[in-house]
Amino acid sequence: MDDISIREAQARIDGWIKTVGVRYFNELTNLGILMEEVGELSRIMVRRYGEQSAKQGDLGKDLGDEMADVLWVLMCLANQTGVDLTDALEKNFEKKNIRDKVRHLDNEKLRPKS
């Protein structure tokens, strides 16, 4: 599969929703679904990289698939609310480059431990 841009992914999701998916769930339903998907991702991360023991049902879960579920629903919400995530991400980089230009460099907590 070739790489796709964020804008193209949003368009492909929109096409899928309007054909296979029939229609978008409403925005609040999709917000709830997004929270569920983030929770599923969190569960795997906490058990795989954190200190919590894994449960049998978590062992075969695909981390990338869970992240893609989060991305999918986020893109659905972007489509529904008229947000172009490509533009939004570019603006976010600009904001962070201005706001955080030296902020993290001065953070003692981020310095390598000797």
CA separation (Å) from 39 to 42, 62, 70, 76, 100? 5, 14, 10, 18, 29
CA distance 33 to 17: 15
Share of the chain above pLDDT 70, in %: 99
- Asked whether the predicted pLDDT for residue 76 surpasses 90, the reply is yes
Considering the domain delimited by 6-83, tell me its CATH architecture: Orthogonal Bundle (1.10)
Share of the chain above pLDDT 90, in %: 75
- Asked whether the predicted pLDDT for residue 1 surpasses 80, the reply is no
pLDDT at 2: 87
pLDDT at 3: 95
Q: Classify residue 4 as left (phi > 0), alpha (psi -120 to 50) or beta.
A: beta
**Quick check: 30 and 76 in contact, CB under 8 A?**
yes
C-beta atoms surrounding 76 within 10 Å: 22
